[in-house]
Amino acid sequence: MSAEVRRALCPAEKCYWIADQISPTNVVARVHLRGHIAAGLLDRAAAALAAEHPLLRVSIRTDAEGTNPTFVRSSGPIPIRPVNGDYLEWERQVDDHEARTPLDRQRGPLIRIVDVARDSSDDEAHDLLLTVSHIIADGTTALSLLRRLVEHADRLSVVDGIDDVVRSRPVFASIEELLPARSRGVRGMATFAASGLADLLVTTMARPRPLALESVSGPQRRTKFVRHVLSSIELDTLTRRCRAEGVTVHGALAAAMAMVIGPTAAQRDSGRICIGSAINIRGELRPRVSADEVGAYASITQAILRFGGHHDLWSVARQANRSVRRRRRFGQHLAHLYALRFVGPTSVAKSSRAFRLVERHGPLNVCITNIGRYAFPARIGQWRLSGAQTVASVSVGGFVAMINTSHDQLFWNFGYIHGAVPDLSAQRFADGCVQTLLSALDCPRGVTAVPGAEKADVGARPGNFVRP
């Protein structure tokens, strides 16, 4: 008998559930697939995916007052929506539907799939989109589920029964139950209180300027995104230069964002800006959580970065790295997750002030999520795969970067709330971040095609910097 999830949402899941009612908290994974997909095969693969993961078989039920959310069995299978279009159609689907339309929390499941069949005289091709709620998933989860979907489809193309392909995983504990002992109880709250006081003092002294956001009410809030790609040569250059400078790729990307967005936020050429960083905590939980386990296993931390003056990209990157390392060493990012039980919002009605404060002044004002290297296969069975990447809805936040490295490319997707950040500003920020990074690498400029690259990943939008 399949294991089923029947429990109350933990505090972190509850925060995402509340935010999802303000504006969708969707995570979208995309991969380009070349080859034939038989009729009905994706439906069977989606059924296998749901059979494997208990959290893909849930909806959320509340009490009569609309509070106390609880996971219960969903009422239907994973929906699959077929679409026909050109090589830009998947981007339009993300912009117009997947990033802006919430999952059905009441009926479930908290996942859906879009199959974009390419209009082409060439070999058959598809862009597969898998959208999952942030309540139960992070970017790593979304990519893992998309990879698993294709793997199930490959197996089911030669095997009849779903039971021959997959068995249900056991129900996993909530993230709060998996926190190490030092991040829970009295020790956890002491760490949270101490780090909160330290942050208050540092912020008061540094006085970082947040990015000014226009107010956009819930029904009008929709995510738009700007897509960028670094080629394999640029990625290799970036990796080697970061190693030589003693910084991480994440630090370099955060530094580029600080240098480009900081002057607009501060309204001067030098100053300080707060950059939020989403941290993958799977390896810090007890027991450790594998990359293919469903759940939102991430925490947000912040760094106040000084830009301008004598600070080049590499010195700003070192600031970012030092801040993240210090917070991880003291366990602040984990203690904050435990503290949500006591300080997190309890309902949508009581959340607006807290979310507004975080959105305008906290680490979500400008934020970066770097999944890092995700080894999405280049071939599964008969299919060739490329361009695996993620896009996230911006429910509570300002300007957010979602990054992963797969198929020998770095995908740098910027999301923002339409209207809260003007479209021209968002495009300028995104283009400027890539230009600043490449300038620090002494990479040549100009937009050209990558030899052998899949067409969808080259020059799909004005301003995309993809070079040989």
**Same-domain pairing of 262 and 389:** yes
Residue 170 lies in a domain: no
Which helix (DSSP H) or strand (DSSP E) does residue 165 occupy?
none
Residue 463 lies in a domain: no
Check: CB of residue 364 under 8 Å from CB of residue 216: no
Domain boundary among 163, 192, 224: 163
CATH of the domain at 156: 3.30.559.10
pLDDT of residue 453: 43
Structural domain harbouring 85: 11-163
**Same-domain pairing of 150 and 205:** no
pLDDT of residue 197: 81
Name which of 157, 165, 125, 142 is nearest 36 in CA terms: 125
Residue 2 lies in a domain: no
pLDDT of residue 444: 61
Residue 4 lies in a domain: no
Tokens of 407: 């198929």
Is beta strand 383-392 parallel, antiparallel or unpaired with respect to 379-380? antiparallel
Check: CB of residue 251 under 8 Å from CB of residue 314: no
Check: CB of residue 413 under 8 Å from CB of residue 90: no
**Angle, CA 154 vertex, CA 152 and CA 409 arms, to 5°:** 90
**Same-domain pairing of 428 and 293:** yes
Q: What is the pLDDT along the chain (468 residues), one digit of tens a residue?
A: 468 999 999 999 999 999 999 889 999 999 999 999 999 999 999 999 999 999 999 999 999 888 899 999 998 999 999 999 999 999 999 999 999 999 999 999 999 999 999 876 668 999 999 999 999 999 999 999 999 999 999 999 998 777 777 888 999 899 999 999 999 988 888 888 888 787 778 777 888 888 988 888 767 788 999 999 999 999 999 999 999 999 999 999 999 999 999 999 999 999 999 999 999 999 999 999 999 999 999 999 989 999 999 999 999 999 999 999 998 998 989 998 999 998 888 777 777 666 766 666 666 789 999 999 999 999 999 999 999 999 999 987 789 999 999 999 999 999 999 988 999 999 999 999 999 999 999 886 543 333 334 444 543 343 443 332
**Same-domain pairing of 151 and 186:** no
How many domains would you assign to the chain? 2
Length of the chain: 468
pLDDT of residue 16: 94
Task: Give CA–CA dist 216/424, Å, rounded.
Answer: 17
Using left for φ > 0, alpha for ψ between -120 and 50, and beta otherwise, residue 109 falls in: beta
**Same-domain pairing of 356 and 238:** yes
Domain boundary among 99, 128, 163: 163
**Same-domain pairing of 301 and 423:** yes
pLDDT of residue 454: 47
**Same-domain pairing of 316 and 357:** yes
CATH of the domain at 426: 3.30.559.30
**Same-domain pairing of 195 and 293:** yes
- Answer yes or no: pTM beyond 0.75: yes
**Same-domain pairing of 238 and 114:** no
Check: CB of residue 55 under 8 Å from CB of residue 294: yes
pLDDT of residue 466: 37
Residue 285 lies in a domain: yes
Task: Give CA–CA dist 239/149, Å, rounded.
Answer: 30
**Same-domain pairing of 277 and 338:** yes
pLDDT of residue 195: 84
**Same-domain pairing of 118 and 185:** no
Residue 168 lies in a domain: no
Residue 320, φ and ψ in degrees, nearest 5: -60, -45
Name which of 255, 48, 75, 76 is nearest 155 in CA terms: 48
**Same-domain pairing of 147 and 190:** no
